[in-house]
Structure 1
Amino acid sequence: MALSYKTRKRLAVLVLVLGLPLYIAAALFVVSLFERPSIWVEFAVYVALGFLWAIPLKSVFLGVGQPDPDDDGPARD
């Protein structure tokens, strides 16, 4: 089922406003459970987790910054 443009846009905002901060808090919590590794290993873990959250949501964010394809735009006389 394909999502409409407005639905994808609303879902993208919801994910960025609520989901991403929750994901960051969860990632920080999980990493804090282990003994602190070297700074480079910790940096690599955070970079990997930074990319990992976007992979399943790629279809939600795809084309959200573009104009609405179903919108006719302003009427021209």
Structure 2
Amino acid sequence: MSMSYKSRKRWSLVILLIGLPIYIVAAISLVAMLDRPNILVELLIYVGLGLLWALPFKAVFKGVGKPDPEEDEAE
């Protein structure tokens, strides 16, 4: 079952406003537990974690910035 445009838009806001800050704090805490590694290693960790958080939510964010497709069908 696919989500409607409105529900995807709402979930994307929840993910960005609540989930992403929590994930950022967790990523910073993870790097802090590693006793501040080399700057390149730290950069790779942040880039990897930055890509990793978005993969599960790809379907939620897909098409959210476009006009509502259901609205076009109603007209």
What TM-score results when the alignment is normalised by the length of structure 2? 0.92
- Distance in 2, Cα, partners of 1:70 & 1:59: 17
**Residues 31-56 of structure 1 deviation map (CA, whole Å, 9 limit, x = unaligned):** 11112211011001001100100000
**Residues 9-35 of structure 1 deviation map (CA, whole Å, 9 limit, x = unaligned):** 000011000000000001111111112
Give unmatched runs, 5+ long, in structure 2. none
Q: CA RMSD in A?
A: 1.4
- Distance in 1, Cα, partners of 2:41 & 2:68: 42
SS of equivalent to 2:3: coil
- Distance in 2, Cα, partners of 1:8 & 1:36: 37
Who wins on radius of gyration, i.e. which is larger? 1
Higher share of residues assigned helix: 2
Percent identical across equivalent pairs? 53
How many residue pairs get aligned? The number is 74
Partner of residue 4, structure 1: 4
